[in-house]
Structures are given as C-alpha cells and as structure tokens.
Amino acid sequence: MSSEVPASDGPGEPTTRPADAATAVVAPDFDVGAGLRAMAFAPGRFATAIQRSQAGTHARNLVREDSTASLTLTLAADGSARACRGWRYLMTNDGPGVHTDDRFREQAGFRGTWTERAGVVVVELASDDGVCAPVGEYTTTRARATTLPLRCVLATPDGHPTLTAPVLVCEWAGAPSSEQRAHAVSGLGPVGAIVLGAAPGLRVKLEGGLPGMVSLAATTMTATVAAVADDAWTTAF
C-alpha cells in the first residue's frame, strides 16, 4: 500500500508558481462556492482526508457511521496526472431485533492527463494499479468507476467559515458513482463538490449527527491544513 507523497516546492506551495497566483481568474461556468474566490491555477499536489464519526436514529434503530476517505491528486507541470483514492467504511444499524453492519476497505489508483483553459482544469484519469496498490475488501460486492474525470478550479478562502488555505474545487464530471459521496463534504464548497487542499493537504473531521437520520447531536466540522498521504484512509483521526 503506497504512502508516496511527491515532492513540491515546500509546504503548501504548488510545484510551479505563476507571476501572480493571487490574481482572480474568470471561470463563468464554474461555481467555486460561497466564501471562496477563484485564483490563477498552478500545478501541484492536492489532497484531502475526511473522517466521519456520526450517528442518528431511524424509527427505534441507532445508526452509526465510522469512515475515513482520502483522495490525493498530483497535477504535474508536464500535463501528467495521478490520483489515489481510498475509503474505509463501517455502518452499523442496531435496534429491536435488528443488528446489521456494512463494512469495506478499498483503494484504487488512477493515471492520466490534465489541461487548463481560462482557469478551469480538466482532468482525465483511468485506473492504473501502478499508482497505488488496489485494495477491495467487501461484505457486499460493489461497482466502482474505472475512470476519474474532474473539472476543477483553484480557489482561495475569502470569508469562508472553515477553510484557511487554497483548495482545488472539483466537479465529478463522469457518470454518478457511489464512491463520489465519500469525498464530498457539505459546507466546504458547492453541493457535491470535491474540495482538495493544496500541499501539504487538508484533513476534515465530521462528528455528531448523521445526515438523513434523526440527529442525536449537532453536526460539527473542523478542517486542518496537514499532510495527507496516499494511504491516509487506512487510519481514523
């Protein structure tokens, strides 16, 4: 299982810096979300790990989720791209006469290319086991996407309630796939967006209420600038 962290110019710095990386760019067909402002793109490494420790009730059942997901994406100056996606998931459902669980561990690597036009980065990736070793441990067989197409814009916080450093805001541009939800967090960017922290990365922790259930407590979210290795998904934080 790979834990490779490609080199960059320094913590939090992209591999290549434009003359004025803070210059806002026009991306009329891309919404980066409230509290964020689009900025000129520079290649580099972007990564986020998400820890969910949440619970709620449904009828008389108590439902809990304990999961960790990570996505690392390296966009090199030569137009090449690589990504590693991982997800450790446990959902339990306990109630009168009901005791079930759903659990799995998975990792997949991707390789491809990226292009940029007017600040919008189009990433085209296909499965490549050479990027990070495949992992697939399931209680129930699951279909997973073999491509990872993204449309992204680099953005900087501008009054954002949680983020404090630049992020790559991405849309999943392919057919819907269930693993997409592991990497999207409501409140970081637009609904359904995948938000990846610029190097060294971003660690997001969700605790409290479980969406879709009667909450036992308010949902809280914290986001910390911190290193995210390819195998960050393997360990809760």
149 neighbors 177 (Cβ within 8 angstroms): no
Give the model confidence (pLDDT) of 102-123 as tens digits: 999 999 999 999 999 989 999 9
155 neighbors 166 (Cβ within 8 angstroms): yes
Domain ranges (residues) in the chain: 43-150+159-234
Q: Which single residue is written with the structure tokens 């009168």?
A: 96
Q: What does the radius of gyration of the chain's CA atoms come to, in whole angstroms?
A: 18
Which tokens hold the place of 27? 């991306």
Q: How far apart are the first and last CA of the chain?
A: 19
Query: What is the rounded distance in angstroms from the CA atom of residue 73 to the CA atom of residue 81?
Result: 7
Kind and range of the H or E run holding 228? none
Give the model confidence (pLDDT) of 43-95 as tens digits: 999 999 999 998 888 788 888 899 999 999 999 999 999 999 999 999 898 88
> How confident is the model at residue 19, as a pLDDT?
35
207 neighbors 54 (Cβ within 8 angstroms): yes
Name the pLDDT band for 140 (thresholds 50, 70, 90).
confident
> How confident is the model at residue 199, as a pLDDT?
97
> How confident is the model at residue 50, as a pLDDT?
98
Q: What is the dihedral of CA 183, 188, 189, 190, to 10 degrees?
A: 80
